[in-house]
Structures are given as structure tokens and as C-alpha cells.
Structure 1
Amino acid sequence: MKFTFLHTIDKAYAGIAIVMSTLSILSCFIIIAVLISCKSLRTNGRTLLICLTVANFVSCVGSIVAAGVSVFTPELTWSNFPVCAAASAISIVSNVCAYLWTCAISLYVYLCISWKKDVLADKLRGVFHLVCWGFPVAVMVIATASDVIGFNFGKAKVERRPPWCWIDRETEKFEMWELVTGLGWRIATIIICTALYSFVQFSLSVQVIGDHSQALVNVILLCFLSKDVRTKLNIKCQSIRHLFSKKTSGLRPLELEELRSDSNQLMDEIELNEEQDQVQG
């Protein structure tokens, strides 16, 4: 495919991509410098942020190379241009890495906040590195070996989008390769992060409700679910019922006094058993 002219909007798009990618690269340097200089910020979770920053840095480099190809070499045959193929490979690896690291950070936060599994989350960091770095490289190698990367210039000349170095539009099963090398992982990342964010928000909402009802929970756990407390309450309730029921109206004062004495004696025995259990414990 011979492409010899770029529309003004295409050049503007490429120029904006170069400027924004350059600013993103500077931002990546700032993030890394801050995390390196401040030891208090070097937590396990923020080390994952450094990995995401590195992936974004490489992605910006690939975008600058691809934009430079579009702007500064308009007379070349794009399908056989090695620089464009290299930019495509860099973009595929870095973009898939960024998507996977975003999912990894979301999963890490979910485990720490919702499940309180900080140790498990830290153990998974090795798995995160293996998957988030190794899998994108494998995708790039497969795409390169299949000879599908190149100049992503549409078949229809009326397409209102600038050309780019990614997947050759003339290759077979273009839509499948588009999903495998980036777009599919972007959609999956949006779905996964949205789901994990919803789970975290739900767990935090439940925790807030628990904070306001802590006293009620303590009453249920320490009083109503305690066998000794329930026994005492039962004795008290029986004493009150006998004292105020119609059946007690015919009892003599001596019988009522004996009933109170039996109840107090039983409660004293329960308290004595509790003291013995505390001494043994």
C-alpha cells in the first residue's frame, strides 16, 4: 500500500499524540522519582503502581514513534516499513501490560480492603509480575510471527481517522487480532475494574453500617448469645412471672420468700461457676 499524503486533521492528531505522550513521559519520571525519594511511600501496593508507570512509559514511546512515522515519513511503503512494525510491537506489549497491571492493582486493593487478606495480596505479587509482563510479550510474539502488524490504514479512503502503526487492516481476521492485541483487554479491564470497585464500595458501606450499630452487636453477642446470661434472664423472668401472676395470689408470704431465696441461690451458683472458670482460664 502506497500512502503519500496526510490530511491536515491527521497531522494535527499525530502532533497532539506526540505532545501528550511527551507530557505523560515526564509524568512517569515524576512518579518514579517521588516513590524513589520518599521511603515512606514505598509500600507493596505502590510497587505495583511503579510497574503500571513503566508500562505507560513504554506505551508513550511507542505512540511517539508511530506518530513520527505518520508525520515525517509519508512517502514510504508502510506495509514493509520496519520502524512502523517496531512501533506496533512496542504498543501491543505496553498497552496489554498497562491493562493487566490495572486489573492487578484493582485486585490487590479488593483483597486488602474487602477480604482483609494483605498477606495473600502480597504473595500474589509474583504471579502479577509473571502474568502482566510475560503474557503481553507472548501476544506480541504471536502477532509478529503471524505477520499481522503494520500500518493500520483503512481500506476505505473516506474513513475519518488518522492512520497508525498497529494491525494491518488488510490482514485476514483483522477484528480478531484487534481484540487480541489491545481492544479486547481494554474492554475486559473496564468490566473487571468496575466489578471490583463495586465490591469494594459495598464492603465499605457494610462496614459503615457496622460502625454505627456496634453497641447493638455487642449486646447480641455478649448478652443474648451467652448461656449464663440467658440463664440469669430466664430465672429473673420466672421470678417476676410468679410474683405478678394470678397463680401467686394464693401463696403465703413465706412461700414467696422461699421462691425468691431459691432464685437467688441459683444465681449465686452461676456466679461461682463463672469465677471458677476465670481462675482456671
Structure 2
Amino acid sequence: MASVNQTVVSTSEQAVVLASCALSLVGSSLIMLTYVLWSDLRTTPRQLLVCLSLSDWLSATSYAYGVWRIFETDSVDCVVQGAISTFANTSSFFWTVAIAVYLYVSIVKSNQRLADSLVLFFHCASWGIPLAITVAALCLNKIGFDGSEVSVGWCWVRIQAPDYIVWILLTGKVWEFLAYLILPLLYVLIKRHIHRAHAALSEYRPILASSSPSHALSAMADRKLTLIPVIFIVLRIWSTVRFLLLLADSPARKNPVLVTLHGIGNTFQGAANCIMFVLFTRPIRMRLATALCCGCCSKHQSSAAGSRDTNNAVMEGSRRAAPAEPGPTAEP
């Protein structure tokens, strides 16, 4: 099966997935940029979101190269691309779960100290475990051309490997399945807790409404972070469907619509997070609009000032070049 099966990626599918990669690169970069620019946004949940965005940025970059190349055999760049995407994609799973765990501990358990103490563990697990898995797969020559059976043009686990399915599980699917189980549970508990808290504090809403803008912005960002599991599941489900169809040896896994949805789902998370936590967050959206307007106004003013300086210089040069008018003639 592994040596003969291959899913052909059409030009239209390639273009759609490349566009998705580009949007994800822009979105992930924008999330990281807003974190750097504005210090009041540097909360711990936002820090975790930046780590997730970095993983998504790496994934989108490696996927874009793979989709652009459409590998047809093992090569050095295929292995490098497959290794980067394996590391980044697995890291994205870990960071998504880490964010949910952090929110659960800080919001539901109301233990901010414990939540903050977990951040170092999140870094060790979310970067270290994916790195160890990727290095092991590279050392055992498991990364390479996979015939787009569970990808969309990019390289992942070598389709020629006899234990191909086992390594698909180890380098991604096991962690993805665990995320499917853990995230909805934590998500429901967090949302239920927030709903109960709102109901219990309804009489204090006029007081809460007068809180500082910075505090309100942080609270809004923390609550929006609970939507990350939903985004994750909606986008990732298509790759899971194709994997299950592969296990059943069903030709439906080659369906162009399913392949396209798989390509978009694996590459669009950075853009989806940006839409939710930047573009759909009004204070941040207004800051970006103000920054862009100020930048445009500054360029316009500089251009206008430069034009005035040029005009003044031309007029001054004209006055100097003009012949002097004769003065009154002296009487003899």
C-alpha cells in the first residue's frame, strides 16, 4: 500500500492552501507584533498565545514551502521541511492544551500562583517533547515523502516505512486525539464557571463597568482565549478524517474537497487566532487603526513638508538668478 498510493494535489488546491499559509503567516506575525508593541497586553495568557503563534508561524512557513514544491520523492529539503513541520505542528498541539490548562487553573480553580508556576513546565513540555520526537524520527529515517496520503503536498512520515502508521501516531495524531478529549472538557468547565460568575456578580456590573480600560482589555483577552480549543477542533478535524479514511483504505481520502479542507485546516490556525484575538478585539483593532492612520499621516506630512521645502528652494533659486532691477540714477 505505502509504495503505490499517492494523492495528487491539483493546482487549484495548491493555490488555496498557499493563500491559507500566507494568511496564517500574517496573522501569527500580527499577534506577536501587538504583544511586543503594547506592554499592557503582556499578560501570561497572551504570552502563551504568542508561543502558540510562533508554532503556527513555523508550521505555515514549512507547509507553504512543501505545498509550493509538491514533493514527489525523498530529498534533503523534503526531510528538512518535514522535520520543521513535525516539530511545529506537534508543538502547536501542546501549546493549545497548555493554554486551556492555564485558564482552567487560573479561572476555575482561582489559583493564579499555581497557574503562573506552570508556565515553565509548559515551555519545557511544549518545546522539549516535540523536539525529542522529531529528533528520534530523523535519526530513525522516518521523515520524508508521504505521497500526500495524510498531507497536502508537504512531507511528513515516509510512506515507504513499514511502521508508517505508528510514526504518524507518534509524530502528531496521538497528541491530536488527546487534545480532542482534553480541550472540550476544559473548555466547557471554563465557560460554565464564567457563566456562573457573571450570574452571581450581576448586581455589581455597574461597578465592574467602571474598571480601568487596561484591566477590561486584559479580562476580555483572557475570556477570548477560551475559544482557542473550538478553533483548534474545527480546523484540525479534516486531517483526522483523512487519517481514519487511510486506516480504512478508503479512496474517499483523495476527495478534492476533503484534501482542500485538510490543507486549510492545518495551515489557517494562525490567521484564525489573529481574527479572534486581534481583529475582533475592539481595543486592539482601534490601536492598530490609530497606528496605521498616524503612520499614513506622518508620511503625508513628511511628503508635504518635502514638497514645500522643494518649492521654497526653487523660488529662492529663481530670485537669486533673476537680474537686479536698476536703481535710481544719481544726479550729475
TM-score category, normalised to shorter length: 0.5 to 0.7
Deviation of 1:15 after TM superposition, in Å, equals 2.3
1:36 lines up with 2:41 in the alignment = no
* Matches of 1:190 and 1:84, distance apart in 2: 29
Q: In structure 2, which of residues 163, 168, 176 is the aligned counterpart of residue 173 of structure 1?
A: 163
Partner of 1:94: 88
Instruction: Call closer, same or farther: CA 1:103–1:206 in 2, change over 3 Å.
Output: same
> Which residue matches 1:67?
67
Please identify, of 191-200 and 136-145, the stretch whose mean Cα deviation from structure 2 is larger.
191-200
Q: Spell out, residue by residue over 1:29-61, the C-alpha distance to the aligned partner (whole angstroms, 9 max, x if none).
A: 111111111111111111111100100000011
How big is the shift at 1:202? 3.1
Total equivalences in the alignment:
202
For 1:173 and 1:190, locate their aligned partners in 2 and report how far apart those are by CA, in whole Å.
24
| TM-score, normalising length: structure 1 | 0.65
Query: What is the identity percentage for the equivalent residue pairs of Structure 1 and Structure 2?
Result: 25
Q: Does 1:49 align with 2:43?
A: no
Question: Is the Cα–Cα contact under 8 Å of residues 58 and 94 in structure 1 kept in the other structure?
Answer: yes
Partner in structure 2 of residue 264 of structure 1: none
Number of the residue aligned with 1:58: 58
Larger radius of gyration: 1
Give the conservation status (yes or no) of the 8 Å contact 2:69–2:153. no
- Structure 2: how far apart are the matches of 1:43 and 1:184? 30
Q: Name the SS of the counterpart of 1:124 in structure 2.
A: helix
State the 1:120 CA deviation: 0.8
Match 2:107 to one of 113, 130, 133: 113
Structure 2 residue identity aligned to 1:64:
A
> Per-residue displacement from partner, 1:54-79 (whole Å, max 9, x unpaired)?
00000011101211221xx66xxx13
| 1:1-281 alignment runs, 5 A limit | 7=8, 9-70=9-70, 78-79=73-74, 81-153=75-147, 162-208=152-198, 210-211=200-201
1:204/1:23 CA distance change after superposition, 3 Å: closer
Over the aligned positions, Cα root-mean-square deviation in angstroms equals 2.7
Cα distance in 1 between the residues matched to 2:120 and 2:151: 40
Instruction: Write the letter of the residue equivalent to 1:93.
Output: F
**Inter-partner Cα distance in structure 2 for 1:192 and 1:42:** 26
Specify the SS of the correspondent of 2:56: helix
Encode CA deviations 1:125-169: one digit per residue, 9 max, x unaligned: 111101100110000011111111111117xxxx79854311112
Which digits, 9 at most, give the CA deviation of each residue in 1:175-211, with x for residues without a partner? 1111111122112112111010122133234435645
Q: 1:117 to 1:160 in 2, by over 3 A?
A: closer
Q: Which structure would you say has the larger RCO, counting Cα contacts within 8 Å and 6 or more residues apart?
A: 2
Measured after TM superposition, the shift of residue 91 of structure 1 is: 0.6
| Separation in structure 1 between the aligned mates of residue 99 and residue 13 of structure 2, nearest angstrom | 31
Structure 1 196/162 Cα, relative in aligned 2: closer, same or farther at 3 Å?
closer
| Structure 2: segments with no counterpart, 5+ residues | 204-332
